[in-house]
Chain A
Amino acid sequence: MRASAANREQSSVYPYLVCLVAWAVPGAGHLVLGRVGKGLVFLSALTVMFAFGLRLEGRLFPIEISQPLVALAALADLGIGLPFAVARGLGAGGGRVVALTYEYGNAFLIVAGLMNMLVVLDAFDIAQGRK
């Protein structure tokens, strides 16, 4: 009785844990769920895309409530998970507005974060048994 209640609780928490892992490390959710091929594709493509954005002198935006568009861009940037924290920790992502590739860099950073959010939702669906 107690074991089945624990299992039920575990199964209800499990998809959310997968989401957390999938958000923190791009593709890790799929790797945990045994979708190794997809997981490796997401891990490599999203991480390299994010690194490319930094290389193109894009900016990791701060969350500024007074500027809604900047705040939205910051939320999209945060979607990539740990690479965001690592880049911030290394002092990268300051952005150079006068750089020719500044806007391209922003597009790479923002889209990498948004696509990782979609990957998290896909991992959630798989963990829920919908896929």
Chain B
Amino acid sequence: MTSHIGLMAIFAFFVSTVFGALMRDEPMEQLRFGARLFAAFFFGGIALGWLLYPLPL
């Protein structure tokens, strides 16, 4: 597995799973919080990537 976006998705999945279970007590709340966190990580990562794209690095 060498796809950057795939690895980012897997990383986001693990982190949001742990934080979802850690920060909420009810299963439905955990699922909702985890899903929101996953979306924030995933789409935030893509947005940050595009923001950095014009920079001469």
Contact = CB atoms under 8 A, between A and B. Distances in A.
> Do A and B associate with each other?
yes
Interface residues of B, number: 13
B13 to A, nearest CB: 9
Contacts of B21: 37-38, 41-42, 45
- Interface of A: prevailing SS: helix
A3 interface: no
Specify the main secondary structure of chain B where it touches its partner: helix
A49 B7 CA distance: 11
A52 interface: yes
Contacts of B27: 37
A100 B4 CA distance: 10
B11 A118 contact: no
Interface residues of A, number: 21
Contact of A42 (B7, B15, B18): B18
Nearest to B2: A100
B14 to A, nearest CB: 4
Interface in A69-128: 100-101, 104, 107-108, 111-112, 115, 118-119, 122
Interface of A: 37-38, 41-42, 45-46, 48-49, 52, 56, 100-101, 104, 107-108, 111-112, 115, 118-119, 122
